[in-house]
Amino acid sequence: MKWFKQTVFYEIYIKSFADGNGDGIGDFPGLTERLDYLAELGIGGIWLTPFYPSMQVDNGYDVSDYCAVDPLYGTLADFKVFLAEAKKREIRVVIDMVLNHTAINHRWFTEHPDYYIWKERPNNWTSFFGGSAFQFDEKREQYYYHSFAKEQADLNWANPAVKEEIKQVLKFWLALGVDGFRFDVINNLTLDLAFPDNPVDELGEVLHKFDKDQPGIDGVMAELAAFCRDLRPDVFLVGEISSDELPEIARYSRPELLDVTFNFNFGSIETFTPEKLFQELVAMEKALPDGQMPTLFFGSHDMGRSFSRLAGQNLPLAELLAFIILTARGVPFIYNGEEAGMTDLTFADVSEMADIQGIMAYEQAVGKGETKQEALFAANQKTRDKARGPMIFADGKAFSATGKAWLKQNQEPEEKVHAIFAYYQELLAFRKAAAYVTEPYTSLQLKEACLTYQRGNYYFVANFSERWQMTAPPNGRLVFGQEEQGGIAPLSGAIYLMEEENENCK
């Protein structure tokens, strides 16, 4: 069986995780020092956000050199030490690959302009960060296409030389020993090269129709996947699909394409209800091709922190959300700090923000004539900085020994941090020892805000309701959680092992 099916992943936003040299920015030496913390927590894999040299316009998602380490984070030698130390602790390492675009200071942009997409005139396509997706280049007197910031020029995947260059990049990292890749906005690689205008909705919003999921995308993805698997048969490939349409997300999860894809309908919902959760679990089961697993996550560096956004800062609810991602069928991704109950940051001034998305929201609001206060509100809504604050460790160690931090930090009550960490740790240890992880559901139900499912011999109860629920199944022995007289408390989870009836003892 492929190892990823049993692995709990942990996303590390490198800039905010652990600062080894005291400059206020996370780095590899800091991260390596915290591997024991991760081993103690009990995760099995890391997804590391981009650490390559970058213009830092989009915090590393604007790559200037795919085969090096940004000096902000250390050296390639530091990366190798980190990788070796992770392996010693049986922690796999999956790195982020941003193949849709490079930074405009990547040498390719000047040396190989044909690796990019040039137009005499822009059409109506908009960048995913807002505004036109075309930028005029004075030297060339043409526009280049950028589906994100203007410093992130899209690569031209219709040019076979681009594919060959990228294969060398993948080979470089696989040869160093990484265990897999998280492919950034991977369904955006192909475009409708006739560049028809995108449709516009009733609100005047330009839709993304011809700038993603275009013919040829399956072929490109399959070629990259096969290339990686030839070099490393057990490589793990997880795709970020820029879409909130489940069928679109699910169709890229196929043996010849990606192992799993992120479903944002599950992970980045704005508000939580047990009904929504249940519907999405059911929908994922239906939408995914046979044998493919969903991903399960409630946070990432691109959305508000689940402790604030979904749990309303309610500790038992946050624990119950952890219970879901660690016991439902799927590949879980914990976002760093979730296990410490970290909360959203809010900013008193736009100058405190670093995320381009928040800053652009501010500028656009001001441009529309909104007051500074209104613009700040819009920016606080949009900024992904809210989830990118320096890490809080349950072992009491600080993000940076000097107390410096590149972004504002929240203080979190120690008691909460310890309680939620202990819950994750206990459940992760239970999950490792139990035999349900690859079992399908034999039942999946929601009744009175109480979600139950059976997988193999294990029966799970997640009580989202405000009252005690009598939940113990006949022949069930409680193996995780607490119950009293066959019932469990509001906002708590329990696991029962179904005892096989022993013929001789009947």
Tell whether residue 14 is a contact of ligand NOJ (CB under 6 A): no
Q: Which of 287, 305, 272 is nearest to 420 (CA)?
A: 305
Tell whether residue 185 is a contact of ligand NOJ (CB under 6 A): yes
Query: Annotated catalytic, 240?
Result: yes
The answer to whether the CB of 2 falls within 8 A of the CB of 11 is no
Q: How far is the CB of 302 from ligand NOJ (least distance, A)?
A: 5
Tokens, residue 212? 């993603």
- Which of 11, 240, 280, 319 is labelled catalytic? 240
* Residue 152 backbone phi and psi in degrees, to 5: -115, 90
Judged by beta carbon, residue 249 or residue 281, the one nearer ligand NOJ is 249
What is the distance between the alpha carbons of residues 409 and 504, in angstroms, rounded to a whole number? 62
Tell whether residue 148 is a contact of ligand NOJ (CB under 6 A): yes
Judged by beta carbon, residue 129 or residue 459, the one nearer ligand NOJ is 129
Which of 240, 339, 385, 483 is the binder for ligand NOJ (CB under 6 A)? 240
Tokens, residue 24? 């206020």
Tell whether residue 460 is a contact of ligand NOJ (CB under 6 A): no
What is the distance between the alpha carbons of residues 501 and 505, in angstroms, rounded to a whole number? 8
What is the distance between the alpha carbons of residues 153 and 118, in angstroms, rounded to a whole number? 10
* Residue 201 backbone phi and psi in degrees, to 5: -85, 180
Tell whether residue 393 is a contact of ligand NOJ (CB under 6 A): no
Judged by beta carbon, residue 153 or residue 420, the one nearer ligand NOJ is 153
Tell whether residue 151 is a contact of ligand NOJ (CB under 6 A): no
Tell whether residue 61 is a contact of ligand NOJ (CB under 6 A): yes
Q: How far is the CB of 474 from ligand NOJ (least distance, A)?
A: 46
Helices 160-176 + 217-231 axis angle, to 10: 30
Tell whether residue 98 is a contact of ligand NOJ (CB under 6 A): yes
Where would I find the H helices in 198-258? 217-231, 246-251
- Which of 184, 213, 344, 355 is labelled catalytic? 184
Q: How far is the CB of 29 from ligand NOJ (least distance, A)?
A: 24
Tell whether residue 353 is a contact of ligand NOJ (CB under 6 A): no
Judged by beta carbon, residue 240 or residue 338, the one nearer ligand NOJ is 240
Judged by beta carbon, residue 335 or residue 460, the one nearer ligand NOJ is 335
Total residues interacting with ligand NOJ, rule: CB under 6 A: 9
Q: Cβ atoms within 10 A of the Cβ of 141, count?
A: 8
Tokens, residue 385? 């900085």
Separation in Å, CA 458 to CA 92, 372, 434, 437: 27, 54, 9, 10
Tokens, residue 327? 């016991």
What is the distance between the alpha carbons of residues 494 and 484, in angstroms, rounded to a whole number? 11
x-or-dash string of contact with ligand NOJ, 281-320, rule CB under 6 A: --------------------xx------------------
What is the distance between the alpha carbons of residues 144 and 134, in angstroms, rounded to a whole number? 6
At residue 227, what is the residue type? F
Tell whether residue 58 is a contact of ligand NOJ (CB under 6 A): yes
* Residue 69 backbone phi and psi in degrees, to 5: -110, 135
* Nearest residue relative to ligand NOJ (C-beta): 61
Which of 184, 213, 339, 385 is the binder for ligand NOJ (CB under 6 A)? 184
Q: How far is the CB of 183 from ligand NOJ (least distance, A)?
A: 10
Judged by beta carbon, residue 99 or residue 375, the one nearer ligand NOJ is 99
Using CB under 6 A, list all residues that contact ligand NOJ. 58, 61, 98, 148, 184-185, 240, 301-302
Q: Which residues are catalytic?
A: 184, 240
